[in-house]
Chain A
Amino acid sequence: MKVVFIEQDRCLACRNCERVCSFQGSGGFKRENTSIWVHIDMDDRTIFTLTCLQCENAACLNVCPTAAIRRDPATRAVLVDETVCIGCKMCVNACPFGCIHFEKNRRVAAKCNLCQGLPRCVMNCMSGALHYGDVNALAAIKRRKIDRTMINTTLFSRGEHRQ
């Protein structure tokens, strides 16, 4: 299945994903309404971005007492049906990643729904940190980086340098 995945070492923390995500659900850019979060730690000077991982065995979906959380048959995204949600917040408690939250205006659970297969956060990620695709593509990207490091290390050990 396709998910939104993140190359953490490409994120420069412009926060535009947060804004357009917030807009999808609320019509505004308030950070309290986003379902993707860019965490900037000024003490450590680190940037870390996280959104729903669309778990195969989703704790939020399993714990929901009214079956308001289900899987979209088309995109396989874990969705909240706001007409069925009773606002009990069990899902917020159950999610191990903090990637589902309670929407204060509509008083229901809210999370990434992959924008029906056209995620706006990805469309607005100008650094190319966010992707929408098979998560194994992320593994491939990481392997390519390791390959490059290994090749350079090998060349270096042979006394050869590469531009």
Chain B
Amino acid sequence: MKTRAIVPNGVVPTLCRMCDTRCAVNVHLNGGIIADITPFDGHPVNQGRMCPRGAAAIDLFYHKDRILTPLKRMPSGGFKEISLDQALDEISGRMASLKNEYGARSIGVWKGEGLGFLQQEEYARRFIHAFGSPNYFSNDSACFNGRYLGYHLVCGFWNAFPEFDQAKTILLFGTNPPMCHPPFMREFADARQKGAKLVVIDPRLNPIACYADIFAQPLPGTDGALIWGLINYLIETRNYDVDLVERFSVGFEKIAAYAKRFTPEFVERTSGIFSHVVRDIARLIVKNRPRISIFPGAGLEHHENGVNCVRALAILSCLCGNLGQACGLFRPEPLGQRSLCLYDELALPADDRPIGAERFPVLYEVRRECHSMTAMDYMLGDGAYPFKGLLIAAANPAVTHPNTRKVENALASLDLLVVSDFFLTPTARLAHYVIPAATFLEREEIHLNPKRQLVNITTRVIEVDGVRNEYFLWRDLAHRLGFGPQYFPWPDERAVNQWLLEPTGLTVEELQRHPEGYIYKPPAFGKHHYLDFPTPSGKLEFASAYLKNLGLPEIPVYTPPYHLQLGKDEFPFVLTTGARKSLFYHSRHQNIPRFRNVHPEAEMEIHPDDAAELGIANGDKVRVVSEVGELVIRVAIKHPGELRRGVVEIYHGWEQWRVNLLTYDDINDPISGFPLLKAVPVRIEKLPPD
């Protein structure tokens, strides 16, 4: 591969995008080659430290398997290298004819995690909107949106990352920050050294639980019962923020009446968490409120009862008096930059019916995002209208989306599938056209860190011959389709960034002078900033009239998870998927050899007593069977404390061992449409040794 660095020798600061934490790093160039990546000292996110994923961006950038030329699938099934111009001409030609035949809505885009959010997401949204289709999909439909909606429905906002180091008690629900948010570790350690208590609630005992003061291990999918138990304790003992409830909230009486049944003993019967542990956690909250940090992980939202669980958590935060606290429900102020989205500018045809908007209206109305699981039905011909073409930007649904077989069939049945990615992923292998994608080192984009009200611009450190970044993909397609001059007039992403920043008074050059991050406004804390909430009633909505009108539960009632309703006869185990691994990022980075030293092969984690009962030893192969499908995988027998009996765990991103063969796409949360991924009933069959 031929590359061009912006400076042949020197050190260039930028932000890492090997995961979405976006730590500040220094890229060391030597003779035009990236020689090393080290932490940038002075950025508040990572404070001069980094994780091994950062330096491995070199391995990603120079990877021998990287796609450097567009590929076209031949009738024989193989791929042929073609020029970028030919690829874009043919893709835009196909898009235009599909639009003619079936309408613009027959084509959609799907933004993936491999590229990032924010600006990359807005490019994709702008492109498909200008094309005339409402069908924007993303990985957020199976990660993030559930939590966002949960908080949004109660408070009208969500600051995902509170200032943990300001808390006196930190509660983590279904998350393993040392693996998925490494910079949190410093904040937890700071808080604990100042005397804060750490409470970890997770069906799997991760090492962070060894660091915690209290570890509680609920049955998968029953967190809601515990959260209601804590709400009940605060209300029963009148240890909640009365002023906040009276002045700022609606629906308190309704939740108070509903919470009554969640006594610690009831919580124990439902979730398996001992009643005295429920009381211990509740007392910690009472003692240390309002200085409580609550962080919900993806573990809460990957259930059919997920959003209500997150809503209950948001209510718990409010009752703690968390509002306006740095460590709690703090609403960051926006930078005020322009948006690339066209929702306010260009009306979509009223009868276009975004996919899934009728099934999951909240998802579309709040997030302007279509439901990717419903999209599979459309692709297979079971939708309200034909859906024929999809452009995927660095997403890998053939691995990470529920019900893999169905996803593969759906993608394979499309008339046009375009995948832009670094590697020939299982999703890319199904595509008609594969376009090489650029890594974060090859683009300039604006990154916001709302928690600190801080903005950064990244640097285009290096370019690869023949590889153009995502902005050019959307721009060049837009120009070929005729709406380029109007909606993608900028010659490059520098011009986009200048346009985005214009209303803020900031310039690209100014931001480039601040690799440590530019604080656009110091955060202001305190309850008095919150006289008005961006909710329909303008108040904190413990009960939501909006949901009630849609025929959904007004208050976040707890529904027992599916596996408890199904009974244990046919499927005696419950499978929880997707506990994070420190080096992988969902389905990414499996092809980095040194990472495979740490995670060489997929494993199903199981309790030693369950393994003994099934007569299986460490490393044996088993067949895991669910209502959806089956998977053959090796067994790793864990310490008896790590998992409850009857619970097994498999990582979600393996290309070779796709756990989503087992997961449901059709058991969904009624609000977010999220699939059931983390409490799947399964049975385990021993296989003869190979």
Contact = CB atoms under 8 A, between A and B. Distances in A.
Contacts of B208: 12-13
Interface stretch (A38-46, A74-82, A89-97, A103-111): A38-46
A50 B460 CA distance: 39
Contacts of A122: 49
A13 B211 contact: yes
Interface residues of B, number: 40
Nearest to A152: B195
A9 B455 CA distance: 32
Interface string B35-63: 00011000000110111100100000000
Interface stretch (B130-138, B350-358, B400-408, B593-601): B593-601
Contacts of A28: 593-594, 597
Contacts of A19: 52, 583, 594, 598
Nearest to B192: A9
A127 interface: yes
Contacts of B186: 10, 126-128
Given A28-B593, A29-B594, A47 B189 contact: no
B51 A124 contact: yes
Interface string A121-155: 01111111100000000000000010010001000
B205 interface: yes
Contacts of B684: none
A40 to B, nearest CB: 5
B183 A42 contact: no
B74 interface: no
Nearest to B207: A13
A128 to B, nearest CB: 5
B594 A42 contact: no
A15 B582 CA distance: 9
A28 B190 CA distance: 31
A42 B211 contact: no
B52 A20 contact: yes
B633 to A, nearest CB: 22
B188 interface: yes
A24 B518 CA distance: 34
A23 interface: yes
Nearest to A126: B182
A20 B641 CA distance: 29
Contacts of A23: 52, 594
Given A28-B593, A30-B597, A12 B50 contact: no
A117 interface: no
A103 B46 CA distance: 33
B50 A124 contact: yes
Given A12-B189, A13-B178, A14-B185, A128 B207 contact: no
A119 to B, nearest CB: 12
B207 to A, nearest CB: 4
B47 to A, nearest CB: 8
The bracket for how many chain A residues form the interface is 35 or more
B51 A16 contact: yes
A7 to B, nearest CB: 8
Nearest to A127: B185
A125 B46 CA distance: 10
Contacts of B183: 126
Interface string B175-210: 001110011011011101111000000000101111
B210 A126 contact: no
Nearest to B53: A16
A124 B210 contact: no
A47 B593 CA distance: 28
Contacts of A152: 195
Given A9-B193, A13-B211, A45-B210, A128 B594 contact: no
A98 interface: no
B185 A126 contact: yes
B516 interface: no
A160 B582 CA distance: 44
A65 interface: no
Contacts of B209: 45
A124 B50 CA distance: 5
A127 B192 CA distance: 12
A123 B49 contact: yes
Given A12-B185, A27-B594, A42 B639 contact: yes
Contact of B178 (A9, A14, A29, A148): A14
A7 B210 CA distance: 16
A122 B39 CA distance: 11
Given A12-B178, A29-B595, A42 B641 contact: yes
Closest 6 pairs between A and B when the two form their complex, measured CB to CB: A127-B185, A13-B207, A10-B189, A14-B178, A42-B639, A29-B597
28 contacts: A7-B189, A10-B186, A10-B189, A12-B208, A14-B207, A14-B582, A15-B582, A16-B51, A16-B182, A16-B582, A19-B583, A19-B594, A19-B598, A20-B52, A20-B55, A23-B52, A43-B641, A45-B210, A46-B210, A47-B207, A123-B39, A124-B51, A126-B50, A126-B186, A127-B186, A127-B188, A145-B193, A148-B194
